[in-house]
Chain A
Amino acid sequence: MIEVLDAGALLTVQDLGRPGYAHLGVSRSGAADALAAVRANTLVGNQATDAVLETTLTGAVLRFTDAATVALTGTAGPAFVGDVPAPMNRPVRLGAGQVLEIAPPERGLRTYVAVRGGIDVPAVLTSRSTDTLSGIGPAPLQPGDRLSIGESTPASATLFDAGGTPVPEVTDPGTVLALKALAGPRADWIHEAHAVADHTYTVTAESNRVGMRVDGPALEWARTEELASEGVVAGAIQVPPSGLPVFFLADHPTTGGYPVIGVLTDEAVALAAQCAPGQRVRIDLRDA
């Protein structure tokens, strides 16, 4: 079992989400930084789809009642087992009763904790992910919650598969992070949409698993009519009437009524999921 001693700002169970239900109004959800979640699973010999823990901003403190093999990915750390620093991006063996502390990260926002065997909570619509928008899946974790660990999936699976998914490096908050995007279906709804690439935005504290919100130069709508709601994807850069772009993340609504001027690449979605408030970003917009 894993006992939650401190859940930080938000601690959730996540896997790769529940694709296939968007036409019923159910978002895919899943790990906000899916590349980091897959890497964490790879490091402990899990399936890519096994459930992991996702911490937010302030980290978490977890006690393991039994010996376990874990891996931490996504942020630059630090983390500690007792008072010993625990490495990021490597399998770490914990003894029974040991406490893993994930401290507020020096760089990045969301640390992923994979445990060999996976986090074992009931799947809802094929996924163990907490969808913070629709309330589907396990509730966000609270101090005192206890989680079971699953059976190790294929026993032959090896630890530390170094050939796993590449994970983009989390940048220094002092620099401007370029987020690659392809021009979106409604770029023509915004006056000089391509000029957005010249602006620098600052990530605000209103960001969450639904979307990354930013402050900076407002974009101007080129049209006055309303856009009928249409399906949107994770990574969509939507421009509401305020003119400040919203970058949709894992728990985005399935449809949206504001123009999408660009869509982040998968790698850029992973990077956006690691942008803490104050991070400066720009959009590296290319033709679709």
Chain B
Amino acid sequence: MTVTMHQVGEHAVLLDLSPLDHSGDEFAVATEGRAVPMPNLVASLWERLMAARESGTFTATDVVPAARTILVDGVSADDARSIGAVVDDWESTGFARAAMGLSEADVPVIEIPVTFDGPDLATVAELWGTSTHGVAEIMRDADLRVAFCGFAPGFAYMSGIGAERAVPRRTSPRSRVPVGAVGLAGEYTGIYPRSSPGGWQLLGTARDATLWDIARPNPALLVPGTRVRLVS
């Protein structure tokens, strides 16, 4: 298969989708020559794996998507073989279609009100060759989607602004970023679920969204696959 499976210790495997960046003719045929963004590929395979686990194809404690990989933890050698078969099937029976179909309307959209008052608005405006109003407009128009979580409980890395708008992290991280701060790093948009140190370029504030609440049945507001729109 084109996706590489690495053994990780005694009971985990890491699926690496990076080869799909450069996999040439076969991939181009499957995707009808269109470029499929990496976050869409990861999301598509993650959903397939979650469904397969749900249906009992394999057991695992955790299925963890990231930027270009998916870690499956708590698996036996038999489970790893079944996971390999799921990946093969995903590749051969239309992973491209699944990846293309990610933004279809059947996934509900969470709207998050944001005030664009962040200290790095001007920096990002300059990087994008637009005004601070232009940045706000681009962000409101973006069809964001949670690619993966990490860094802190409930911190979602949202794809959707596109690789061409990727911005570097701040060269010196802030020692304190307030809760609700909306920022950019690389091609990801994130919202700080709690106050913490952080190096993201801050665009604004989501004052009313509770991103993480341990008392809720689903403590994280933004889970992988969630579609998000930033609104005024």
Give A contacts to B, CB under 8 Å. 19-26, 28, 124-125, 134, 136, 181-182, 184-185, 228-233, 235-236, 253-255, 260, 263-266, 288
Closest to A232 in B: B71
| Chain B neighbourhood of A24, CB < 8 A | 149, 153-154, 219-220, 223
Q: Which residue of B lies closest to A23 (CB)?
A: B64
At the interface, yes or no: B7 with Cβ under 8 Å from chain A?
yes
Q: Which of B12, B63, B151 contacts A25 (CB 8 A)?
A: B151
Given A255-B64, A255-B148: A136 in contact with B8 (beta carbons within 8 A) = no
Q: Are A125 and B214 in contact (CB under 8 A)?
A: yes
Residue B69 CB within 8 A of the other chain: yes
Interface residues of B in 4-61 (CB under 8 A from A): 6-10, 12, 14, 16, 61
Interface residues of B, Cβ cutoff 8 Å to A: 6-10, 12, 14, 16, 61-71, 73-74, 148-155, 214, 219-220, 223-224
Known contacts A23-B149, A136-B153: A230-B214 contact under CB 8 Å: no
Q: Are A23 and B214 also in contact (CB < 8 A) when A230-B69, A255-B66, A264-B9 are?
A: no
**In the assembly, what is the distance between CA of A14 and CA of B108, in Å?**
38
Q: How far is the CB of A262 from chain B (nearest CB, A)?
A: 8
- Chain A residue at smallest Cβ distance from B65: A23
Q: Please name the residue on chain B nearest to A24 by beta carbon.
A: B220
Distance from A179 Cβ to chain B, minimum over Cβ atoms (Å) = 12
Contact B155 A233 (CB under 8 A): no
Query: A218 CA to B174 CA in the complex, in Å?
Result: 29
Q: Within 8 Å CB of B63, what residues of A?
A: 23
Known contacts A25-B149, A25-B150, A233-B73; decide if A182 and B223 are in contact (CB<8 Å): no
Q: A229 to B71: give the CA distance in the assembly, Å.
A: 11
Contacting residue for B214 out of A22, A136, A229, CB 8 A:
A136
Docked-complex contact A231 and B151, CB < 8 angstroms: no
Among A134, A181, A263, A265, point to the contact of B153 (Cβ < 8 A): A134
Bound-complex Cα distance A98 to B132 (A): 67
In contact, B73 and A231 (Cβ under 8 angstroms): yes
Q: Report the Cα distance A138→B180, complex, angstroms.
A: 24
What are 21 A-B pairs with beta-carbon distances under 8 A?
A: A19-B62, A23-B148, A25-B154, A25-B155, A28-B61, A134-B152, A136-B153, A185-B14, A228-B69, A229-B67, A231-B70, A232-B71, A233-B73, A236-B9, A253-B151, A254-B64, A254-B149, A263-B8, A264-B9, A265-B10, A288-B7
Given A228-B66, A263-B9, check contact A23 B14 (CB 8 Å).
no
Cβ-neighbour of A23 out of B74, B152, B223 (below 8 A) = B223
> Once bound together, how far apart are the Cα atoms of A254 and B71, in whole Å?
10
Which of A253, A255, A266 has the largest count of B CB atoms less than 10 A from its CB?
A: A255
